[in-house]
Amino acid sequence: MGKKRNLSSLYIHFPHCRHLCNYCDFYKSIPQTEDGQYQYESFHSLLESSFERHEQFLAEENYQFSKLKTLYMGGGTPSLWGIEGANHLRQFFQRKQIYLEEDCEFTLEVNPGSWTDEALEAFKDIGVNRFSLGIQALDSRFLKALDRVHNFDDVHKTLQKFNEMKSNFSVDFMLGLPFSKEWNRDVLKELEEILKYEPSHISLYILTVKEHYVHYDKLPDDEWIENEFLKVSEYLQSRGFAHYEVSNFAIKGKESKHNLQYWKSQSVGALGPSATGFLKEARIRYKWKINSPEFVREDLTNEELALEHIYMLLRTNLGLNVKDTFLHEEAQNLFLKKVKEWTERELATVNGDKVTLTPKGYLLMDSLMDDIFSIFPESIYQNLILD
């Protein structure tokens, strides 16, 4: 066994929410209560046993945690965990000897109506320095149609709080909502209001649901959604936000360091039910089971890794460097021929050896990947640089 590989990013999934929104597919449940108080013991014990299993797995694969550079508490609704959660995490990290770099980006997801002043202070005390707020819409009709449990005032109160704290915070915002056409949703007006609270980052998601979704027949058509997406991209760029990833916008220097780890195909550890981790050098992806401290492991082939790498590079404005990605001229030429078609359709731009998608291209990401599948013979994967 050679030198241990360091793991410096960790995602933890908190699996509880106050209310289960009817469009949501993430793993979550309403916590048990005792005397009107939420109980988190079962999550705490799962975290404990999962950590032990994870330690064993990391050792087998020759990895160890170094001081963390990024830590992301997602969910579910981790802000609901409250002071008890912050204290639990502090002790957990101490016991497990998990330490944070001084400038570690530590993000906590926060839902309107599921936080208290005291809990936010306690989370800041353990190092949280970035918040991701689940705002989704700033119009009470759409909050209701979306089945959000909090109201319009909760949303304003939350934005106001983070503005007053002068925090580094991101806002999750959704497009393609039911009734958008009937009620003529004005997303730019909603976003203009949100920007008054000075978020440094916006994540923009298009609502994705299954066919049994309660408002399935009230969803806007693809053309409406495309128009909304392109309109918002243009607007946010005009307000100083770079469209730096398919669904993400940031003012300079405020890109999500944690998410960039995924997009750059770097290793990220994971804990908590349904959380997914990736060990780059070992070429392993693993996903935690829901009720037991076990995960499903996937060993990735060269082909899978190569295609994922291309997919990830094209997701961000870092773009794909043709010469760095494809070793052989044959592969470079095949790829560039396809890219020429993309540029003619305004889906991509080429700058020297670098190919970057436009917002219109981001919208068609999946079909562009199919294009790539279709042009490359199997042997081409031998020609790709994988690290």
Ligand X SMILES: C[S@@+](CC[C@H](N)C(=O)[O-])C[C@H]1O[C@@H](n2cnc3c(N)ncnc32)[C@H](O)[C@@H]1O
Residue 77 contacts ligand SF4 per CB under 6 A: yes
Task: Work out how close the CB of 76 gets to ligand SF4 at its nearest, in angstroms, rounded to a whole number.
Answer: 5
20 binds, among ligand X, ligand SF4, none (CB under 5 to 8 A by kind): ligand SF4
**Hey, CA dihedral for 67, 70, 76, 82, is it positive or negative?**
positive
**∠ CA 322-323-325, rounded to 5°:** 65
Residue 209 contacts ligand X per CB under 6 A: yes
Residue 149 contacts ligand X per CB under 6 A: no
Residue 208 contacts ligand X per CB under 6 A: yes
Residue 359 contacts ligand SF4 per CB under 6 A: no
Phi-psi region of 346 (alpha: psi -120 to 50; beta: other; left: phi over 0): left
Per CB under 6 A, the segment of 48-56, 207-215, 306-314, 323-331 that binds ligand X is: 207-215
Nearer to ligand X, 154 or 172 (CB): 172
260 binds, among ligand SF4, ligand X, none (CB under 5 to 8 A by kind): none
Task: Work out how close the CB of 30 gets to ligand SF4 at its nearest, in angstroms, rounded to a whole number.
Answer: 9
Residue 48 has phi, psi (to 5 degrees) of -60, -50
Residue 364 has phi, psi (to 5 degrees) of -105, 20
The pattern of x and - marking residues 87 through 126 that bind ligand SF4 according to CB under 6 A reads ------------------------x---------------
Residue 206 contacts ligand SF4 per CB under 6 A: no
Count CB atoms within 10 A of the CB of residue 178. 23
Q: Coil, helix or strand for 33?
A: strand
Task: Work out how close the CB of 80 gets to ligand X at its nearest, in angstroms, rounded to a whole number.
Answer: 9
Structure-token pair, residue 132 = 């991701």
Nearer to ligand SF4, 50 or 77 (CB): 77
**∠ CA 108-110-113, rounded to 5°:** 155
CA distances from 224 to 142, 147, 213, 369 (A): 16, 22, 19, 23
Per CB under 6 A, the segment of 92-100, 202-210, 250-258, 367-375 that binds ligand X is: 202-210
Amino acid in position 323: K
Residue 126 contacts ligand X per CB under 6 A: no
Question: Based on C-alpha coordinates, what's the Rg of the chain?
Answer: 22
Q: Which of 13, 28, 243, 315 binds ligand SF4 (CB under 6 A)?
A: 28
Task: Work out how close the CB of 21 gets to ligand SF4 at its nearest, in angstroms, rounded to a whole number.
Answer: 3
First to last CA, the chain: 20
Q: Coil, helix or strand for 204?
A: strand
How many angstroms from the chain centroid is the CA of residue 265?
A: 14
Q: What is the DSSP string of 249-311?
A: EE-TT-S-HHHHHHHTT--BEEESTT-EEEETTTTEEEEE-SSSS-EEEEEPPHHHHHHHHHH
How far apart CA 50 and CA 70 sit, in angstroms, is: 20
Q: Which of 7, 10, 12, 17 binds ligand SF4 (CB under 6 A)?
A: 17
Structure-token pair, residue 224 = 């409406």
- Site for ligand X, residues 68 to 87, rule: CB under 6 A: 74-75, 77
Nearer to ligand X, 138 or 331 (CB): 138
Contact residues toward ligand X (CB under 6 A) are: 23-26, 74-75, 77, 109, 111, 134, 136, 172, 174, 205, 207-209
Contact residues toward ligand SF4 (CB under 6 A) are: 17, 20-21, 24, 26, 28, 75-77, 111, 134
